[in-house]
Amino acid sequence: MGNYEQARENYKEFGVDTDLAIKALLKIKISMNCWQGDDIVGFDGGRPLSGGIQVTGNYPGRARNPEELMADMDKAFSLIPGKHKVNLHAIYPLFPAGVSVDRDKLEPSCFKAWTDYAKDRGLGLDFNPTYFSHPKASGFTLASPDPATRLFWVDHGKVCLRITDFFAAETGQESLMNVWVPDGCKDIPGDRTGPRMRLLDSMDQIIKEPHDAEKAFVSLESKVFGIGVESYTVGSGELALLYAASRGIVPLLDNGHYHPTEMVSDKIPAVMLFFDRMALHVTRPVRWDSDHVIRFDDETREIAKEVIAAGPERFFIGTDYFDGSINRVAAWVIGMRNLQKSLLMALLIPSKRFCELQDEGKLTELFVQQEEFKTMPFGAVWDQLCREAEVPESRDWYKEIETYEKDVLRKRG
């Protein structure tokens, strides 16, 4: 009996069908963040990063243009089981030679090459307005007290929603536009309410832009604090969540955007009692919102358990991290595969039995079974999934990364 056949029998003893778990995992789409590949430089002028965002490291091979970024993503997707999505920021337009427009004048045509790319590969597309790394983002953006500055960024949000609608129509898949702004104060503000009122009004204008609400969705992302806005963040957790509830948009939880003692895995089941859909940005915070590459760690696994429990079809799941200190293509593959491993492990848990033990007050037995389940032959099931998806299993994928680095990345200078 092979490793997988033995593992299948082991799980069957607990009423778990590993074949069905594999099939279910391969249906779950994850939106891979394009900005890991080029350190969030983008293609609209390569301005210095702002808005409290930092990318550390100078590992060779950063993508310098659309062709290199797409080639690197192709390599990553070839090593990741299943068909997924690409998460784009508005700083990645593909202008014709000699042509450029500012962010408030972007059009769907600026991103047609991305829809062509996605359709050729059977991928979906998600989108994010870019409210940082711009001369008009040196202060507040959607919460700006200056009417002209605020109008610029409202118009940017509107065109981004039109682009999101275009993505959904072109790919035939749902598309999410996620709004995050770095607005806030380094020290104690004189007015906490005014900026928030302006942010709400700006968002109200943006979401009224005509779009297919059955295919193109909007979310608002919160943050506890950031570099330069340590004392006051306009888009706080309470504001973003209540705005989503009151306006009928999608709540988005980023597990790096809360206090280190707050667990998004615990927030998910509470929030999902009040929403039909939810969006997640999965990352790995180290002490704060540091956006490290996702590991197969406790909180990632707990988040995955809640996604599976609530129904994965109700979620927009995206990765959000950036690390320039290691091979950037490998970073994509590591993070995506670790998130998939977490989801697969959640699918292999005898959840019904665990719930019964909790309800029956058999907490000792629950504790024991939860711990013993950690040593079930999960690796054999993961390897089988990789074989069925026709991607390298276990550590074999890294050999292809080493070859790609030698043949492609190192030659970029």
Q: Which residue numbers are catalytic?
A: 180, 221, 223, 254, 257, 281, 289, 291, 320
Cα–Cα dist 214/142, whole Å: 26
List, in sequence order, every residue forming a beta bridge with 185; answer none if it has no partner. Answer: 232
* Residues constituting the chain: 413
Cα–Cα dist 84/89, whole Å: 17
Q: Which residues, at least 6 apart from 86, have a Cβ–Cβ distance to it below 8 Å?
A: 31, 32, 34, 73, 114, 117, 118, 123, 124, 125, 126
Residue 123: phi and psi, rounded to 5, are -100, 160
Place of tokens 């959000």: 320
Cα–Cα dist 70/309, whole Å: 34
| Residue 319, Cβ density class (10 Å: 0-12 exposed, 13-18 middle, ≥19 buried) | buried
Within 13 Å of residue 342, how many CA atoms lie on the same side as its CB? 27
Q: Which residues, at least 6 apart from 411, have a Cβ–Cβ distance to it below 8 Å?
A: none
Burial annotation 13-28 (CB, 10 A radius, 16+ → b, else e): eeebebeebbebbbeb
In the chain the first and final C-alpha atoms are separated, in Å, by 49
Tokens of 108: 């769907």
List, in sequence order, every residue forming a beta bridge with 31; answer none if it has no partner. Answer: 85, 318
**Type of residue numbered 296:** F
Cα–Cα dist 403/408, whole Å: 8
Place of tokens 């040196």: 138
Within 13 Å of residue 357, how many CA atoms lie on the same side as its CB? 14
